[in-house]
Chain A
């Protein structure tokens, strides 16, 4: 038996007519979204570049904004059917009803978080990078574990970069932790810390735009992490949408669309030297 759902018919039709095979999932999101026929996507407040440019996700500019629209498209929602909301990290994990279908703001997938919320298949894997300021004592630090351990580090609290720093690098001095990347940048600008750790795209953006004389020392080899830093779309625990979202991401990976978005907005860290932790 089939219930009459005009939106289902529209998305199915559009799938057949315009978007080709990718949108064949259109029907799978039916009735599983917060509002019928619309996809509600959440991001941070504010959302930072290069993930979302100019804090305006609806523009589709920025890596995560572009990924969000690509996923929506693959699920059978055109750009007009996407609504944006803003949440903090805490709102995304608090128990109770969510006000979004999925949430993306560089959530790293980890086992503890997995107990409370659902993550999609990863849409990006990043390395952790170290940034110093030119003109500071740390400016010529060697990209080796022993040299870096002597520095005073800062990071955004609760991020994978911070865990990596405290559990793998283990600097000799106490870490300083801040609410978000903007405050870490304020601290390095005020010379309160020698170096900061960000995920590689944030580090590239910070050194290019946000820190006067910012310089990337290097990136840590991905194998050094306890678990690879995979970003996933966050959904409510047991979300009925997870299967569709995963399918959409897999399709985007296979078609090369995801790689295309990645190279458009994140560039590549090809020129960034690897840090030798053994030395």
Chain B
């Protein structure tokens, strides 16, 4: 073993010390949770209501199949949100005086739809528009629930795109224009690729949020995972199905969150080089 100089010995001592402290504190917290929580007077009741193994086993398969409904809604909503929000961002970014109405529309759209809770959009659009007397299948809650999600989320995501577009330095488009690219070609080949790549971590956050908010569609009819858990909760007078639903959500959202973090870290490294 090579002989360490005084500085290295000192660093090693500090590292050891912090390792000991962090393990001791982790152990203390875990021991505290494991020992103290069950000592609470209501623990048996809470355990029965929320962490009931029998109920979990009985309800989990159907919760899992109901989650497929959530995934489907997510998979067709996400591309629609991407396209619509990009269009809104571009509308807000126009510079020509003649296109002022478009700019105004973009601003109004983001202001209004960002200001209304998504759950209210789901209710108002999901029950309101079919109430106008649309024939089936055009009054399906899946269609109008999706419309509500897409409208609400595009307002947010459009702002992410707009911020991305504005973060691309003006010299980039000036250079592209001086090379003879048209305005739209500059946007398409020079600005947008950089803008979108820069905003991918922020977009991932919306992917995670959308994954969870899909459950809001349960309020207007579809039996997705939240509704299925809600039915079991009522019939069994037990909240464990909600815990089961939370576990299923986490199995999907944690990997996505980790991936978003990884992308963020990579971007930071690239920028600091």
Q: List chain A positions with a Cβ less than 8 A from chain B.
A: 89-90, 93-96, 110, 112-113, 115-117, 154, 157-159, 162-163, 174-179, 183, 186-187, 189-193
Known contacts: A95-B49, A177-B227. The answer to whether A192 contacts B221 by CB under 8 A is yes
Whether A112 and B130, one on each chain, are in contact in the complex, defined by CB atoms closer than 8 angstroms, is: no
A110 to B127, CA, bound (A): 32
A178 to B48, CA, bound (A): 27
Whether A96 and B42, one on each chain, are in contact in the complex, defined by CB atoms closer than 8 angstroms, is: yes
Known contacts: A95-B49, A191-B136. The answer to whether A113 contacts B237 by CB under 8 A is yes
Known: A96-B46, A112-B238, A113-B236. 20 other contacts (CB 8 A): A93-B239, A94-B49, A95-B48, A95-B49, A112-B236, A112-B237, A113-B235, A115-B237, A116-B49, A157-B230, A157-B234, A162-B231, A178-B219, A179-B219, A183-B220, A187-B127, A189-B131, A191-B130, A191-B136, A192-B140
Measured CB to CB, the closest approach of chain A to B237, in angstroms, equals 4
A95 to B52, CA, bound (A): 13
A193 to B42, CA, bound (A): 43
Whether A178 and B235, one on each chain, are in contact in the complex, defined by CB atoms closer than 8 angstroms, is: no
Measured CB to CB, the closest approach of chain B to A183, in angstroms, equals 7
- Point out the residues of chain B lying under 8 angstroms from A187, CB to CB: 127, 141, 220-221
Q: List chain B positions with a Cβ less than 8 A from chain A.
A: 42, 45-46, 48-50, 127, 130-131, 133-136, 139-141, 218-223, 227, 230-231, 233-239
Known contacts: A95-B48, A186-B127, A189-B131. The answer to whether A154 contacts B237 by CB under 8 A is no
15 A-B pairs whose Cβ atoms sit less than 8 Å apart in the complex: A93-B237, A93-B238, A95-B46, A95-B50, A163-B235, A176-B141, A176-B223, A183-B220, A189-B131, A190-B127, A191-B133, A191-B134, A191-B139, A192-B141, A192-B221
Whether B234 and A159, one on each chain, are in contact in the complex, defined by CB atoms closer than 8 angstroms, is: yes
Query: Which A residue sits closest to B69, measured CB to CB?
Result: A174
The one of B46, B131, B140, B236 that contacts A186, using a Cβ cutoff of 8 Å: B131
Q: Which of B134, B220, B234 has the most CB of A within 10 A?
A: B234
Whether A112 and B235, one on each chain, are in contact in the complex, defined by CB atoms closer than 8 angstroms, is: yes
A115 to B136, CA, bound (A): 43
A154 to B221, CA, bound (A): 8
The 6 A-B pairs of least Cβ separation, nearest first, read A158-B234, A176-B221, A95-B45, A113-B237, A190-B130, A112-B236
Measured CB to CB, the closest approach of chain A to B115, in angstroms, equals 24
A175 to B235, CA, bound (A): 17
A59 to B50, CA, bound (A): 37
Measured CB to CB, the closest approach of chain B to A248, in angstroms, equals 24
- Point out the residues of chain A lying under 8 angstroms from B134, CB to CB: 191
Whether B49 and A158, one on each chain, are in contact in the complex, defined by CB atoms closer than 8 angstroms, is: no
Whether B221 and A177, one on each chain, are in contact in the complex, defined by CB atoms closer than 8 angstroms, is: yes
A175 to B69, CA, bound (A): 13
- Point out the residues of chain B lying under 8 angstroms from A177, CB to CB: 218, 221, 223, 227, 231
A28 to B176, CA, bound (A): 89
- Point out the residues of chain A lying under 8 angstroms from B234, CB to CB: 89, 157-159
Measured CB to CB, the closest approach of chain A to B41, in angstroms, equals 10
A174 to B236, CA, bound (A): 22
A89 to B218, CA, bound (A): 18
- Point out the residues of chain A lying under 8 angstroms from B238, CB to CB: 93, 112, 116
A178 to B227, CA, bound (A): 8
Query: Which A residue sits closest to B219, measured CB to CB?
Result: A179
- Point out the residues of chain B lying under 8 angstroms from A192, CB to CB: 130, 136, 139-141, 221
A162 to B232, CA, bound (A): 11
- Point out the residues of chain A lying under 8 angstroms from B219, CB to CB: 178-179, 183
- Point out the residues of chain A lying under 8 angstroms from B46, CB to CB: 95-96
Measured CB to CB, the closest approach of chain A to B40, in angstroms, equals 10
- Point out the residues of chain B lying under 8 angstroms from A94, CB to CB: 49, 239
Measured CB to CB, the closest approach of chain B to A35, in angstroms, equals 21
Measured CB to CB, the closest approach of chain B to A228, in angstroms, equals 16
Measured CB to CB, the closest approach of chain B to A227, in angstroms, equals 12
- Point out the residues of chain B lying under 8 angstroms from A95, CB to CB: 42, 45-46, 48-50
Measured CB to CB, the closest approach of chain A to B140, in angstroms, equals 7
